[in-house]
């Protein structure tokens, strides 16, 4: 028997997922990621999105109670910029709407990826986000680590911009546990954004670090904001691959979609976990928001947790 109503309801709002304090605001744990707004291949140079539909998705997200939007100046396709879509759709911004952005990666005007920004270049990246969003400050800015061994110099540059009033709160992204401590020695960290979902990405060490960061954030009251929670290992290509039988079975039991199960599982990892599923499709938006009302049973969680853990190691002695 289903533990929750079928997830086809279009009346569920973002507050069904619960709330958490982030960057000075109490926001719904169901947020929205803006990367998919720009086209068929996310921020890669795929088919540009339909502008009117993207604007409608943003407005509908806010109408459904989404008050936390994640974006970046490097989210753009050949004709679309996520930040400028947000500005067009939602400005003037509501006081209770939190817009988080990130800096560190760099793309030129052709969309080609360059080297990571130097610390002295981060002010320009922050100012570009301000210009595109039409704001005089940024609520929350993540430093996205780009394989640097140390993030101290880059994070220190953002801390100086916070002191100057351009940024209100700071976060870090794509980090290992040691980087969180390194950043906290410089300035408060209110959120961590790392890749996290049912499909562990990368090496066993990367998966272990992701679990450790999740735990550390919970212990310290820091928001943990996972990305690619739905797309899993296919996230960079903006596609979703075939799903596990266990995910499909749990979805059928609840009258839900596999994507909703994945979102619900991520939210189950702790009250400090905030989901930011992204889409340019209004039907998918409704499904994503409704996932906040899906309550997985203990049995569901055991089945899904086993996927995260991966197959049991082989005993070499038989």
84, part of any domain: yes
Estimate the crossing angle of helix 204-220 against helix 177-184, to 10 degrees: 40
Instruction: Identify the band that residue 256 occupies on the pLDDT scale cut at 50, 70 and 90.
Output: very high
Span 10-21, average pLDDT? 94
Instruction: Identify the band that residue 313 occupies on the pLDDT scale cut at 50, 70 and 90.
Output: very low
5, part of any domain: no
Which of 144-158, 213-227, 232-246 is the least confident region?
Answer: 232-246
Alpha-carbon span 9 to 173, nearest angstrom: 34
In the predicted model, is pLDDT for residue 241 greater than 70? no
pLDDT tens sequence across 130-153 = 999 999 999 999 999 998 999 999
Alpha-carbon span 263 to 276, nearest angstrom: 9
In the predicted model, is pLDDT for residue 52 greater than 50? yes
233, part of any domain: yes
148, part of any domain: yes
Span 11-38, average pLDDT? 96
pLDDT of the residue at 318 = 32
Instruction: Identify the band that residue 96 occupies on the pLDDT scale cut at 50, 70 and 90.
Output: very high
pLDDT of the residue at 227 = 93
Instruction: Identify the band that residue 107 occupies on the pLDDT scale cut at 50, 70 and 90.
Output: confident
2, part of any domain: no
159, part of any domain: yes
pLDDT of the residue at 316 = 33
Does 75 qualify as catalytic in the annotation?
yes
Question: Residues 6 or more apart from 58 whose CB is under 8 A from it?
Answer: 32, 34, 37, 69, 85, 86, 89, 90
- Count of C-beta atoms within a 10 Å radius of residue 73: 24
Q: Which of 75, 142, 196, 228 is catalytic?
A: 75
For position 268, which CATH number holds?
3.20.20.100
282, part of any domain: yes
Alpha-carbon span 288 to 276, nearest angstrom: 9
Range of the domain at 282: 14-309
In the predicted model, is pLDDT for residue 236 greater than 60? no
Total tally of structural domains belonging to the chain? 1
3, part of any domain: no
pLDDT tens sequence across 166-211 = 999 999 999 999 999 999 999 999 999 999 999 866 666 777 888 9
């Amino acid at each position: 028997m289903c533990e929750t109503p079928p997830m086809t309801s279009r009346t569920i709002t973002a507050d069904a997922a619960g709330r958490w304090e982030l960057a000075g605001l109490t926001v719904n744990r169901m947020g929205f990621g803006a990367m998919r707004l720009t086209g068929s291949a996310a921020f890669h140079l795929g088919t540009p999105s339909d502008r009117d539909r993207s604007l409608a998705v943003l407005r509908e997200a806010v109408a459904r109670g989404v008050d936390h939007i994640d974006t970046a100046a490097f989210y753009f396709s050949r004709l679309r910029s996520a930040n400028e879509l947000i500005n067009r759709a939602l400005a003037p911004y509501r006081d209770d709407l939190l817009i988080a952005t990130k800096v560190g990666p760099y793309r030129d005007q052709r969309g080609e990826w360059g080297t990571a920004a130097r610390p002295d270049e981060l002010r320009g990246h922050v100012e570009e986000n301000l210009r595109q969003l039409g704001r005089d400050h940024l609520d929350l800015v993540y430093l996205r680590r780009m394989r640097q061994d140390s993030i101290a110099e880059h994070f220190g540059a953002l801390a100086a911009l916070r002191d100057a009033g351009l940024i209100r709160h700071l976060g870090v992204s794509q980090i290992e546990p040691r980087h969180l401590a390194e950043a906290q020695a410089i300035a408060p960290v209110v959120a961590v954004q790392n890749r996290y979902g049912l499909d562990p990405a990368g090496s066993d060490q990367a998966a272990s670090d992701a679990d450790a960061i999740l735990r550390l954030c919970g212990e310290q009251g820091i928001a943990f904001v996972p990305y690619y929670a739905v797309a899993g290992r296919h996230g960079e290509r903006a596609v979703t691959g075939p799903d596990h039988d266990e995910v499909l079975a749990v979805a059928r039991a609840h009258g839900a979609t596999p994507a909703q199960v994945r979102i619900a599982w991520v939210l189950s990892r702790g009250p400090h976990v905030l989901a930011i599923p992204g889409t340019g499709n209004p039907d998918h938006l409704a499904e994503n928001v409704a996932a906040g009302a899906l309550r997985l049973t203990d049995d569901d969680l055991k089945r899904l947790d086993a996927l995260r853990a991966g197959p049991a190691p082989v005993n070499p002695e038989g």
